[in-house]
Amino acid sequence: MVSKIIRFLLVAFVVVACIAAVYFNQELVTIHYGPHREITLMGGIIFLGCFAFGFACAYYFVITNSIKSYWRERTYKAKEEKQHQFINSLLEARALQSAGEVDRASQLWQQLIKRDPTSLLARVELSRTLEQGGDLRQALKVLDKAREADPSNVEVLLQAANINQKLGNKTAALDNLALALYQEPTPFAAAQARQLSIQLDRIEDAREYQKQFEIAGGDATSDESIELKFLGLKADLAQQGGEAEEVLERTLKAIRKFAHQHPRFLPAILELVELEIQAGNTSEAAESLLKAAKENQAPSLWKRAIDLWLEKDDGDRALAAAKTALRNASAKQDRQKAQLDLARVYVLTGKPEDALNTLSLVSELEESEDVSIRKEYLGLKGYSMNLQERYSEAAQVWKQLLEIRGEHEALLMLPYEPSANGGVTYYPALERVK
């Protein structure tokens, strides 16, 4: 009711205002709108006409802009809905891809590409799906289309490098990584490029990528970085000439220094050991192995050091190394292997009783599921008994070993006698255990 009254009052106000405008402006006014055209009306009517014309123009602009705004809003909502559907389809495709539904995911990615041919994301994900399905060449073709749309896209370049690397196209992969680094230097791309350069034996290129790796925030003390330094050192040494002895001495000196600076880098240690042996420095080689074994807690290095002392006929040092290896072993499996190594040293240094005492501490290895360890245990035990001339007991062990091997290697360890009736080998020890 109130709104009706207000509306009535407004209409009444407008009507009164119009009447007042005409009543108080009754003078005639002549308006010329052409060379010989004119119109004469009361001033009030002209005033109302101008007002009505202005109101009509304003209303026209309001209506026009309202219609434009309406269509603009409708278009925006349509795009928003389309984008929403696209995102839902994208999430569905990724879910299928994660679940291993490669075919369904590929079909959905292809539909998304048809819906939006400019979507690099859909093309890259389609490439990853095809890669997951094993179709690497088709995945690379999809990426080629993406690169046509945006040649400098880093994600596309990195994915192309990944697939080329899996296809064995290391040079092409390196080219893609170089382009990615040009667009966006990252530690990941630099590290990949560095490793590929190493594999392609491009040490100088690898050094350049190492610099980019460090500039981008990469760890200069990583194993890969140290490996490159080592390869670079070897490349530099290889370029230097000289007599064989001079080259060996220079190389040995450089590798010693590098191994001292990086005691946890095993390739340098192993290279140093080989050079020391080549130079006739067996003791130095063994000492290097012992230091590396302590630093890296690597059982294989202890064993190699023990073997070197044994080759040098230095049983005392071999025994000391074996005992040190046992003290430093922490894991159960490592301790068991160290016990076997110690028993082996005892056997090879003529101490069968000590060997058997050591083996008794790991008697569970006689039933070990690891066939190689079980063979070694039985072999050491049987051989120790042979050294003590306990042939009957040793024969029991050899029989166990024969059952494992399914061959006649263990027979070589038994004392035998030639048969008197035709050359057939006779093993009395086996006869005694039947």
Domain count, the chain: 2
In a domain, 41, yes or no: yes
pLDDT of 40 reads: 67
Q: pLDDT tier at 122 (50, 70, 90 boundaries)?
A: confident
Regarding predicted confidence, which is higher, 393 or 244?
393
Closest CA to 373 of 408, 343, 351, 328: 343
pLDDT of 175 reads: 93
In a domain, 85, yes or no: no
What pLDDT, in 10s, does the model give residues 216-239?
Answer: 888 888 888 888 888 888 888 888
In a domain, 268, yes or no: yes
Regarding predicted confidence, which is higher, 316 or 21?
316
Q: pLDDT tier at 130 (50, 70, 90 boundaries)?
A: confident
Q: pLDDT tier at 41 (50, 70, 90 boundaries)?
A: low
Closest CA to 347 of 374, 294, 383, 395: 383
430, pLDDT greater than 80: no
419, pLDDT greater than 60: no
Q: pLDDT tier at 33 (50, 70, 90 boundaries)?
A: low
pLDDT of 429 reads: 39
Question: Domain of 27?
Answer: 2-47
pLDDT of 401 reads: 80
Q: Pick the last residue of a domain from 254, 278, 311.
A: 311
What pLDDT, in 10s, does the model give residues 148-167?
Answer: 888 888 999 999 999 999 99
For the segment 286-295, the average pLDDT, to the nearest whole number, is 81
Q: Pick the last residue of a domain from 269, 289, 311.
A: 311
In a domain, 329, yes or no: no
278, pLDDT greater than 80: yes
Cα(317)–Cα(308) distance, integer angstroms? 10
39 strand-pairing partners: 31
For the segment 349-363, the average pLDDT, to the nearest whole number, is 86
Residue 307: give its domain's CATH number: 1.25.40
Average pLDDT of the chain is 81
**To which residue do tokens 């990426």 refer?**
143
Regarding predicted confidence, which is higher, 19 or 359?
359
Q: Give this prediction's pTM.
A: 0.61
Q: Which amino acid belongs to residue 53?
A: F
In a domain, 396, yes or no: no
Non-local CB neighbours of 434 within 8 Å, separated by 6+ positions: none
136 strand-pairing partners: none
For the segment 184-197, the average pLDDT, to the nearest whole number, is 91
In a domain, 25, yes or no: yes
pLDDT of 286 reads: 82
For the segment 54-59, the average pLDDT, to the nearest whole number, is 83
427, pLDDT greater than 60: no
Non-local CB neighbours of 110 within 8 Å, separated by 6+ positions: 126
> DSSP code of 366?
G
In a domain, 261, yes or no: yes
Q: Pick the last residue of a domain from 311, 328, 357.
A: 311
Say if CB 304 and CB 289 are below 8 A apart: yes
In a domain, 61, yes or no: no
For the segment 292-306, the average pLDDT, to the nearest whole number, is 80
